[in-house]
């Protein structure tokens, strides 16, 4: 078993831990900041400024889909979620599995013939696509790996960063 | 009708039937893949070119250190192909166009009917029921027919050892992961979930559903669903596949269809022909003894 398996599993257990609640917390506590990638092995944990994103975006549903905020407008989602009530769990990991391709997850998906969301993203994919997707679209915010989470020593070894900029050996590897 | 004419007619008729059968009989019943085969759906619209998959593959398969680091983006300047040192590479296309670049991960596509397997005369290749095309270096003689046969230019050759020839390519992490139901290392590491692991049959449905739900995001084609009889790796793309490095001229017939007819005739030639021609020879000899010269026969025929 390669050692980085555990690193990946660690990296997968992303979301929400160190949380400071605003003074005016209402029914559901809304965190101001969330530590992401907390158990990351290749990349360091980092703080996500939730409060700033609330200020900038204002619309909770842009990230949280139909679980909170105003109702969704996506025509595909509206078919079922037009009148969906806000859900109790709104965190990413509440819906997005950290092991989307495990034998258990795949088996459960196959067994449930009624399930519509067969293509639901895993936690890691949902977070990266959510962040990078929006940042790219808005032309604002980090999109590179290390702009959010710098590499750890272990990560540097994983990506063989010591060899950066080395010239590929001529006359080998191709054809 | 004389015996000679009868024999001629038999021979011509028999050959016609045999040839007719090769076209239909042997070509029919093409293999559509194992029902429980797994696969990977690559969504090129999601890939951000981080090359984590290359790094994960390198570590999982204990490959040598790369020529340059896995976060060196200068590699995108050239169009790379998998080698014995790197079973998967990510290439960039449409670099200076709006919406670009588009990244494509390249590795063995794990064909339902692999050409490498077809071309190998020592049976070094196996298509497992899980969908992986694996390779047995113990029986390989290093002829490299598989490298020529592969329509995707995938197998790499390890020149390091003269005495122990080894062809190297992606094996879908068969030994360490797929066998026990786990996704390959590249899929597990992918931050964008550009790689989706699952049963091939399910992935085809997922792929078409993504196209249906986002028609503006994708071209309406799933590369690998039908190409060359189908592959375990499937691709979605935001633009025509030939513009991002895919060979769209391969057709839907597996490579083996090109040689099935010919190979199907080999047992027939080896078993039937000796008996048939011995018989003809004996009969003609008998004929010659009984009736004397050819000229007499010719007269009889008239």
Instruction: Kindly report, residue by residue over B227-246, the tens digit of the pLDDT.
Output: 999 999 999 999 999 999 99
pLDDT score at B272: 86
Whether B241 is covered by a domain: the verdict is yes
pLDDT score at A69: 81
Give B30's pLDDT tier (boundaries 50, 70, 90): low
User: Alpha carbon of B272 to those of B4, B11, B266, B287: distances in Å?
Assistant: 20, 12, 10, 22
Whether B10 is covered by a domain: the verdict is no
**Across A17-21, A73-77, B123-127, which has the greatest mean pLDDT?**
B123-127
Whether B8 is covered by a domain: the verdict is no
Query: Is B119 in the same domain as B249?
Result: yes
Q: What is the mean pLDDT of chain A?
A: 81
Any idea which of A74-78, B222-226, B240-244 has the lowest mean pLDDT? A74-78
Percent of chain B with pLDDT over 90: 64
> A residues 55-84 near B, CB within 8 Å?
76
The CA-to-CA distance between both ends of chain A, in Å, stands at 33
Query: Is B162 in the same domain as B249?
Result: yes
* CB contact set of B264 (below 8 Å; sequence gap of 6+): B22, B25, B26
Task: Note the pTM of the prediction, 2 decimals.
Answer: 0.80
Query: Is B42 in the same domain as B67?
Result: yes
The C-alpha atoms of residue B291 and residue B272 are separated, in whole angstroms, by 28
Instruction: Report DSSP letters for A104-159, one per residue.
Output: HHHHHHHH-TT-S-TTPPPHHHHHHHHHHHHHHHHT-S--SHHHHS-B-HHHHHHT
Q: Which domain holds residue B267?
A: 257-292
User: Alpha carbon of B176 to those of A2, A175, B61, B182, B183: distances in Å?
Assistant: 9, 29, 9, 9, 10
Q: Which residues pair with B104 in a beta bridge?
A: B91
Query: Is B137 in the same domain as B281?
Result: no
pLDDT score at B3: 61
Reported as a single tens digit per residue, the pLDDT across B33-59 is 788 999 999 999 999 999 999 999 999
**Hey, how many other C-beta atoms are within 10 angstroms of the C-beta on B279?**
11
Number of structural domains (chain B) is: 2
Write the residue in B60, B71, B210 that is nearest to A159 by C-beta.
B71
**What mean pLDDT comes out for the span B169-194?**
97
Whether B239 is covered by a domain: the verdict is yes
Query: Is B156 in the same domain as B239?
Result: yes
A159–B55 CB contact, under 8 Å: yes
Q: Which chain A residue has its CA at the smallest distance from B39's CA?
A: A101
Q: What is the mean pLDDT of chain B?
A: 86
Give B12's pLDDT tier (boundaries 50, 70, 90): low
Whether B22 is covered by a domain: the verdict is no
CB proximity A158 to B under 8 Å: yes
**What mean pLDDT comes out for the span B250-274?**
79
The C-alpha atoms of residue B29 and residue A93 are separated, in whole angstroms, by 46
B191–A125 CB contact, under 8 Å: yes
Give B100's pLDDT tier (boundaries 50, 70, 90): confident
Which residue, among B228, B240, B55, has the nearest Cα to B154 in the 3D structure? B228
Whether B144 is covered by a domain: the verdict is yes
For the cut 80, the answer to whether the pLDDT of residue B223 exceeds it is: yes
Query: Is B161 in the same domain as B287?
Result: no
* CB contact set of B113 (below 8 Å; sequence gap of 6+): B30, B31, B127, B228, B229, B230, B254, B255, B256
Whether B209 is covered by a domain: the verdict is yes
Query: Is B140 in the same domain as B234?
Result: yes
The C-alpha atoms of residue B57 and residue B169 are separated, in whole angstroms, by 11
Write the residue in A103, A128, A164 that is nearest to B72 by C-beta.
A164
For the cut 80, the answer to whether the pLDDT of residue B76 exceeds it is: yes
Cβ density class B105-121: b for 16+ within 10 Å, e for less: bbbbbbbbbbbbbbbbe
The C-alpha atoms of residue A88 and residue B264 are separated, in whole angstroms, by 64
Query: Is B184 in the same domain as B284?
Result: no
A129–B192 CB contact, under 8 Å: yes
A2–B199 CB contact, under 8 Å: no
For the cut 60, the answer to whether the pLDDT of residue B300 exceeds it is: no
**What mean pLDDT comes out for the span B262-274?**
78
Query: Is B281 in the same domain as B158?
Result: no
CB proximity A126 to B under 8 Å: yes
Query: Is B285 in the same domain as B218?
Result: no
The C-alpha atoms of residue B111 and residue B152 are separated, in whole angstroms, by 10
The C-alpha atoms of residue B121 and residue B139 are separated, in whole angstroms, by 10
For A126, phi and psi rounded to 5 degrees? -60, -45
Instruction: Report DSSP letters for B194-252, one per residue.
Output: -EEEEEHHHHHHHHHHHHHH-TTTS-S--BTSSGGG-BSEEEE-SS-GGGGT----S-S
Instruction: Report DSSP letters for B96-132, one per residue.
Output: TSTT--EEEEES---BSS-HHHHH-TT--EEE-TTS-
Query: Is B173 in the same domain as B283?
Result: no
A2–B196 CB contact, under 8 Å: no
pLDDT score at B287: 65
pLDDT score at A12: 43
Say which CATH number the domain at B247 has: 3.30.70.20
**What mean pLDDT comes out for the span A72-81?**
84
pLDDT score at B25: 43
Instruction: Report DSSP letters for B46-71, one per residue.
Output: T-----HHHHHHHHHTTPPPPSS-TT
Whether B11 is covered by a domain: the verdict is no
The CA-to-CA distance between both ends of chain B, in Å, stands at 10
pLDDT score at B163: 77
For the cut 50, the answer to whether the pLDDT of residue A8 exceeds it is: no
Reported as a single tens digit per residue, the pLDDT across B108-154 is 999 999 999 999 999 999 999 999 999 999 999 889 999 999 999 99
For B62, phi and psi rounded to 5 degrees? 50, 45
DSSP A68: S
Distance from CA of B61 to the nearest CA of A (A): 9
**What mean pLDDT comes out for the span B162-188?**
93
Contacts with B178 from chain A: Cβ below 8 Å? none
pLDDT score at B257: 79
For the cut 90, the answer to whether the pLDDT of residue A73 exceeds it is: no
ipTM higher than 0.95?
Answer: no
Reported as a single tens digit per residue, the pLDDT across A101-147 is 999 999 999 999 898 899 999 999 999 999 999 999 999 999 999 99
Token pair in block for residue B244:
């991002």
For the cut 90, the answer to whether the pLDDT of residue A52 exceeds it is: yes
pLDDT score at B291: 56
Q: Which residues pair with B198 in a beta bridge?
A: B39
Query: Is B261 in the same domain as B247?
Result: no
pLDDT score at A167: 63
pLDDT score at B5: 64
Coil, strand, or helix at residue A10?
helix
Reported as a single tens digit per residue, the pLDDT across A85-105 is 888 889 999 999 999 999 999
Cβ atoms of residues B115 and B258 within 8 Å:
no
DSSP B253: S
CA atoms within 13 A on the CB side of A75: 3
User: Judging by beta carbons within 10 Å of its beta carbon (0-12, 13-18, 19+), is residue A10 exposed, middle or buried?
Assistant: middle
């Amino acid at each position: 078993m390669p050692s980085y398996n555990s690193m990946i599993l660690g990296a997968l257990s992303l979301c929400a831990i160190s949380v400071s609640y605003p003074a005016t917390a209402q029914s559901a506590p809304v965190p101001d900041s969330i530590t992401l990638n907390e158990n990351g092995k290749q990349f360091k944990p980092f703080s996500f400024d939730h409060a700033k994103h609330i200020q900038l975006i204002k619309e909770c549903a842009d990230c949280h889909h139909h679980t909170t905020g105003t109702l969704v407008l996506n025509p595909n989602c509206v078919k079922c979620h037009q009148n969906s009530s806000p859900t109790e769990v709104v965190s990413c990991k509440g819906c997005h599995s950290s092991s989307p391709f495990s034998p258990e997850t795949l088996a459960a998906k196959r067994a449930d013939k009624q399930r519509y969301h067969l293509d639901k993203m895993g936690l890691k994919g949902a977070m990266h696509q959510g962040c990078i997707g929006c940042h790219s679209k808005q032309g604002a915010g980090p999109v590179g790996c290390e702009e959010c989470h710098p590499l750890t020593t272990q990560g540097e070894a994983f990506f063989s960063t010591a060899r950066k900029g080395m010239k590929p050996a001529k006359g080998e590897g191709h054809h | 009708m004389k015996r000679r004419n009868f024999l001629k007619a038999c021979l011509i008729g028999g050959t016609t039937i045999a040839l007719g059968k090769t076209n239909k009989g042997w070509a029919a019943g093409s293999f559509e893949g194992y029902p429980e085969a797994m696969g990977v759906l690559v969504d090129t619209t999601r890939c951000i070119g981080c090359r984590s998959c290359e790094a994960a593959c390198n570590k999982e398969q204990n490959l040598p250190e790369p020529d340059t680091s896995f976060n060196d983006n200068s590699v995108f300047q050239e169009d790379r192909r998998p080698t014995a040192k790197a079973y998967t590479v990510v290439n960039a296309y449409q670099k200076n166009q709006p919406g670009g670049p588009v990244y494509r991960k390249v590795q063995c596509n794990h064909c339902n009917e692999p050409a490498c397997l077809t071309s190998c005369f020592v049976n070094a290749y196996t298509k497992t029921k899980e969908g992986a095309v694996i390779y047995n270096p113990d029986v390989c003689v290093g002829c490299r027919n598989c490298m020529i046969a592969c329509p995707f230019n995938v197998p790499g050759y390890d020149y390091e050892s003269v005495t122990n020839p080894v062809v190297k390519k992606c094996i879908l992490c068969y030994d360490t992961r797929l066998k026990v139901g786990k996704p390959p290392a590249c899929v597990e590491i992918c931050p964008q979930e550009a790689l989706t692991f699952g049963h091939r049959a399910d992935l085809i449905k997922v792929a078409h559903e993504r196209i249906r739900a986002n028609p503006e995001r994708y071209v309406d084609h799933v590369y690998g669903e039908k190409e060359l009889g189908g592959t375990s790796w499937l691709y979605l793309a935001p633009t025509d596949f030939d513009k991002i490095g895919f060979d769209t001229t391969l057709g839907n017939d597996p490579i083996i269809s090109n040689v099935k007819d010919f190979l199907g005739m080999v047992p027939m030639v080896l078993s039937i022909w000796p008996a048939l021609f011995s018989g003809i020879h004996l009969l003609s000899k008998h004929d010659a003894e009984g009736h004397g010269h050819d000229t007499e026969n010719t007269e009889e025929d008239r």
